[in-house]
């Protein structure tokens, strides 16, 4: 159910190290269905993935509902900047421990392989784009809006907040990776430029899909 009337009551805050759990919960809400195996595995996979992603996140904006829940968020990284969540969070150790737990469960190895495939495809697209002369100074890692608030313009609001944060760091351009399982057509308009497309391998959970890379100037 859309909460259009409540959008004005949302509080926008900058990402803090204490918001790690919110990022994991949002990632699980968006991508938990991709996990191959028992439903309970999805939460661990979300934590495992975010433990890697958050090592590179240097900025973020969150929209908090009056109830305290997360209405939406956008996180990204300016290459060379200091991550919001520092080394005291022990994210590499957390990720390593979670990977062992995931690999020991039914569907776990297949899910890890799926994310490894996606990572390799993204790096291939990044390398291909760099070889074509396009180098980006920052990356938007995750843009998410709660189903309760979709259709209210919050994706655009969060994107604008992320771009403002990057401009404050004198970033001239940035990129993002997505795939055909997402609402990728959101990026088929200004200020986005399609940089590349790579078909996913013909493996369980990926058949018929493709990885996409987009860039934008600031």
Within 8 A by CB and 6+ apart from 115, the residues are 45, 49
Rounded average pLDDT over 171-188:
90
What is each CA distance from 170 to 99, 137, 141, 166, 180, in whole angstroms?
Answer: 36, 10, 18, 7, 31
The predicted-structure confidence for 29-66, as pLDDT tens digits, reads as follows 988 765 656 667 889 999 999 999 999 999 999 999 99
CB contact at 8 A, 200 and 209: yes
Residue 123 above 90 pLDDT? yes
Residue 4 above 80 pLDDT? no
Fold of 4-217: Aminopeptidase (3.40.630)
- Which pLDDT value is given to residue 128? 96
Write the DSSP symbol of residue 19. G
What is the residue-wise DSSP string for 70-93? Answer: EEEEEEEEETTSPPSS-GGG-HHH
Residue 173 above 80 pLDDT? yes
CB contact at 8 A, 182 and 175: no
Rounded average pLDDT over 175-185:
89
Residue 125 above 60 pLDDT? yes
pLDDT band at 187 (very low <50, low <70, confident <90, very high): confident
187-199 as b/e, with b when 16 or more CB fall inside 10 Å?
beeeebeebbebe
Where on the phi/psi map is residue 208: left (φ > 0), alpha (ψ -120 to 50), or beta?
left
- Which pLDDT value is given to residue 5? 53
Longest dimension (CA), the chain: 48
- Which pLDDT value is given to residue 89? 83
Return d(Cα 182, Cα 57) in angstroms, integer.
21
pTM of the model: 0.92
CB contact at 8 A, 216 and 186: no
What is the chain's mean pLDDT, rounded? 91
- Which pLDDT value is given to residue 107? 85
Residue 159 above 80 pLDDT? yes
CB contact at 8 A, 214 and 186: no
The predicted-structure confidence for 76-98, as pLDDT tens digits, reads as follows 999 999 999 987 789 999 999 99
Q: By three-state DSSP, how is residue 208 classified?
A: coil
Return d(Cα 9, Cα 150) in angstroms, integer.
15
Domain ranges, ordered by start, for the chain: 4-217
Q: What is the dihedral of CA 68, 73, 77, 83, to 10 degrees?
A: 10
pLDDT band at 202 (very low <50, low <70, confident <90, very high): confident
Residue 1 above 70 pLDDT? no
Between 31 and 148, the higher pLDDT residue: 148
Going 27 to 30 to 34 to 35, the CA torsion angle's sign is positive
Return d(Cα 162, Cα 158) in angstroms, integer.
6
Rounded average pLDDT over 11-27:
96
Residue spans of alpha helices (H) in the chain: 20-31, 41-53, 91-103, 108-131, 154-168
């Amino acid at each position: 159910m859309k909460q259009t009337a409540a959008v004005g009551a949302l509080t926008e805050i900058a990402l803090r190290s204490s918001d790690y759990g919110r990022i994991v919960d949002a990632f699980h809400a968006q991508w938990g269905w991709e996990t191959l195996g028992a439903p309970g595995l999805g939460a661990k996979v979300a934590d495992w993935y975010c433990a890697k992603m958050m090592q590179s996140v240097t900025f973020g904006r969150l929209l908090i509902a009056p109830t305290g829940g997360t209405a939406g968020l956008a996180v990204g990284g300016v290459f060379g900047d200091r991550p919001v969540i520092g080394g005291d969070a022990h994210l590499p150790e957390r990720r390593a421990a979670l990977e062992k737990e995931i690999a020991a469960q039914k569907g776990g190895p297949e899910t890890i392989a799926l994310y490894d495939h996606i990572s390799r495809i993204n790096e291939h697209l990044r390398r291909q784009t760099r070889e074509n002369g396009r180098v980006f100074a920052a990356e938007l890692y995750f843009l998410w809006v709660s189903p309760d608030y979709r259709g209210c313009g919050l994706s655009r609001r969060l994107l604008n907040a992320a771009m403002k944060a990057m401009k404050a760091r004198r970033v001239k351009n940035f990129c993002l990776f997505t795939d055909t399982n997402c609402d990728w057509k959101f990026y088929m308009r200004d200020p986005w430029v399609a940089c590349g497309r790579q078909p996913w391998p013909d493996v369980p959970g990926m058949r018929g899909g493709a990885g996409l890379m987009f860039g934008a100037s600031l």
